[in-house]
């Protein structure tokens, strides 16, 4: 691990319990995490017992690639959102729903609301869309199903 400084080496070799790495952009956080994963694997920790989470698909891909280069093993490396989707797809049948679903992003949800408004003969102005998105968000946060809501 010749490309790590002394502080990074300490972090990589810390294996007893969790470790929080706080540092600025470009300071080597990904290098520390990937080398730590490789170190854990070299100590015999099974790859399926390690989960690497990050915020962006780009970072997850980079981390996955680096871990495979260092260890020649596959470690589940993904974003928080993709992990949640994976868990949903594997388990949603337990609560009576199909795992054939699509997760809409902001653009998709706005387009859907606009299409619904148009098909019902309403204007699809920004305030109406914003109001409907707010109502949907409130209902989801209150764990309400569409059938629980009052019809206009």
Q: Does some domain include residue 81?
A: yes
Q: 16-61 pLDDT, tens per residue?
A: 888 888 888 888 999 999 999 999 999 999 999 999 999 899 999 9
CB-based contacts of 93, cutoff 8 Å, min separation 6: 99
- The answer to whether residues 75 and 119 belong to one domain is no
User: Quick check: is 90 in a domain?
Assistant: no
What pLDDT, on the 0 to 100 scale, is given for residue 23?
Answer: 87
How much is the average pLDDT of 118-135? 91
- Say whether both 10 and 75 belong to one domain: yes
What gap in Å lies between CA 100 and CA 60, rounded to an integer?
A: 24
Same domain, 80 and 108: no
**What pLDDT does 140 receive?**
92
Reported as a single tens digit per residue, the pLDDT across 54-79 is 989 999 999 999 999 999 999 999 99
- Which of 56, 85, 114 represents a domain boundary (last residue)? 85
Distance separating alpha carbons of residues 44 and 79, to the nearest angstrom:
25
* Shared-domain flag, residues 73 and 108: no
Q: What is the CATH number of the domain that holds 34?
A: 3.40.50.300
Q: pTM of the full predicted structure? A: 0.70
The number of domains in the chain is 2
Q: What is the pLDDT of residue 33?
A: 93
| 73 in the same domain as 123 | no
Task: Say whether both 19 and 69 belong to one domain.
Answer: yes
Q: What residues make up the domain containing 32? A: 6-85
Q: Do the Cβ atoms of 35 and 4 come closer than 8 Å?
A: yes
Structural domain ending residue among the three candidates 35, 57, 85: 85
Give 46's DSSP letter. Answer: -
- Residue 85: pLDDT above 80? yes
Q: Where are the alpha helices (DSSP H) in 4-125?
A: 6-13, 29-42, 57-71, 80-91, 106-119
The gap between the terminal CA atoms of the chain, to the nearest Å, is 65
Residue 150 has pLDDT above 80, yes or no: no
Question: Looking at the structure, do residues 40 and 80 belong to the same domain, yes or no?
Answer: yes
């Amino acid at each position: 691990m010749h490309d790590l400084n002394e502080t990074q080496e300490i972090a990589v070799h810390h294996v007893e319990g969790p470790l929080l790495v706080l540092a600025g952009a470009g300071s080597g956080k990904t290098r520390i995490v990937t080398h730590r994963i490789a170190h854990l694997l070299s100590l015999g920790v099974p790859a399926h017992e390690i989960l690497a989470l990050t915020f962006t698909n780009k970072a997850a891909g980079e981390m996955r690639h680096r871990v495979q280069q260092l260890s020649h093993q596959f470690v589940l490396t993904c974003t928080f959102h993709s992990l949640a989707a994976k868990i949903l797809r594997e388990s949603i049948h337990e609560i009576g729903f199909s795992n054939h679903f699509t997760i809409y992003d902001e653009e998709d949800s706005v387009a859907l609301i606009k299409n619904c408004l148009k098909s019902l003969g309403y204007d699809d102005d920004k305030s109406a869309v914003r109001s409907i998105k707010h109502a949907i968000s409130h209902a989801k946060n209150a764990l309400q199903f569409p059938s629980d809501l009052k019809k206009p």
